[in-house]
Amino acid sequence: MRKILLLTLLMYFSVAAAAQSPSEKALRLKDIHGRTISLSDYKGKVLLVNFWATWCIPCRSEIPDLIKLQRQYRNQGLRIVGVTYPPETPSEVRSFARKLRVNYPVALGAKATKSFFTASETLPMTVVIDSDGTVRDVIEGIMYSDEFDQKVKPLLVTNVSEPSKKPRGSRGASIGIQRATILIEAQGYRPSSVRLRQGTPAQLTFIRKTDQTCGREIVIPDYGINRPLPLDTSVVVTLTPKKSGRFKFTCGMNMLRGVLVVR
List of domains in the chain: 20-155 (3.40.30.10), 174-262 (2.60.40.420)
Task: List phi, psi (to 5°) of 257.
Answer: -135, 125
Helix (H, G, I), strand (E, B) or coil at 4: helix
Buried residues in 121-137 as b, exposed as e (16+ CB within 10 A): eebbbbbbbbbebebeb
DSSP string, 143-182: --HHHHHHHTGGGS--SSPPPP-PPSS-GGGGGS-EEEEE
Q: Output the average pLDDT for the chain.
A: 81
* Type of residue found at 78: L
Half-sphere exposure of 75 (CA within 13 A, CB side): 7
Q: What is the pLDDT of residues 14-67, one digit of tens each?
A: 333 344 455 455 567 888 888 888 877 888 899 999 999 999 999 999 999 999
First to last CA, the chain: 55
Please report, in tens digits, the pLDDT of each residue of the chain (263 residues total).
Answer: 444 333 333 333 333 334 445 545 556 788 888 888 887 788 889 999 999 999 999 999 999 999 999 999 999 999 999 999 888 888 899 999 999 999 999 988 887 788 778 788 889 999 999 988 888 999 989 998 888 998 999 999 764 444 444 444 444 344 578 989 999 988 889 899 999 999 999 999 999 988 888 889 999 999 999 999 998 888 899 999 989 999 999 997 888 889 999 98
Q: How much is the pLDDT for 12? A: 34
Task: List phi, psi (to 5°) of 242.
Answer: -90, -20
Helix (H, G, I), strand (E, B) or coil at 108: strand
Q: How much is the pLDDT for 9? A: 31
Q: How much is the pLDDT for 240? A: 92
Query: 82: closest CA among 57, 112, 113?
Result: 113
Q: What is the pLDDT of residues 128-147, one digit of tens each?
A: 999 888 889 999 899 988 88
Q: How much is the pLDDT for 177? A: 87
Q: CB-based contacts of 258: which residues, under 8 Å, 6+ apart?
A: 182, 188, 189, 191, 192, 193, 194, 248, 249, 250
